[in-house]
Amino acid sequence: MIKHKIVKLFEARRANLAHRIKRDYIRNGIVSVPCQIQHYNDVISSYSAKGFESLNPEFVDYLKSSAEIAPPEYPLVVNIIGDCLSKEEKERIEFVIKDDFAYDLGAVEIEEKRHTRIFVGMFFGLLISGVLLWMTQVLAEEPRELFFILFWFMGDTLCDYIFLTGHDLRRDRVLAGRLASVKVVFSDSYKEPDFTESDADKLYSEIEKEVNETIQEQ
């Protein structure tokens, strides 16, 4: 029996993710996410009360996972496929999708502002602790050690924010913005998405208009 270096082969395996994303999702600068459903509650949580609907968590996870792997510069279109919905249900689904993701965007904005306040506080704390270290060079070792600990704690927190947490927050902010701007379409059966340049320009214009309206409201 020939001994194969199977582990080395697995380590050498590479995925052509960019090609697959373009093949499966992207058409003329638009990411189309197909979502096959059997009934209304595949999208809207069955626990929701009428007038206070919220999205089915499985639907949210599916849409987020699809959006996360696609390049962030492309807007999203979710194509809900199924002939089980009334006109009223379609209108309600479109409203709840926009509303729920706008709520998520607001939650991300609150978290972003909280971390910005922490960043500013840590920045000035780092400056102050650095000045104190310089001014207290004549003190005994024990008191100065406290300033060293404070200085390194502030510096470590700032580095974490700049290179790790800050990056994650910006990524979450972009994803939340994309989902809050998602366009919803309905189809009775699946068809290969075929967006024209005109469709892409129209969608970009609609998103730009929505963004400007939200800015003016604040």
Specify the DSSP class assigned to residue 40: G
Torsion of CA 182, 79, 187, 38, to 10 degrees: -120
β-pairing, 30-36 vs 76-81, is parallel
pLDDT for res 139: 59
Rg of the Cα trace of the chain? 25
Beta bridge partners of 36: 81
Question: How much is the pLDDT for 140?
Answer: 58
pLDDT of 161: 79
Per run of 10 residues, the mean pLDDT along the chain (length 218 residues) is 73 79 81 93 93 94 91 91 94 95 92 86 82 69 70 79 80 92 93 86 90 80
pLDDT for the residue 87: 94
Total-model pTM: 0.79
Whole-angstrom CA distances from 178 to 22, 51, 199, 215 are: 18, 25, 17, 16
Amino acid at 52: F
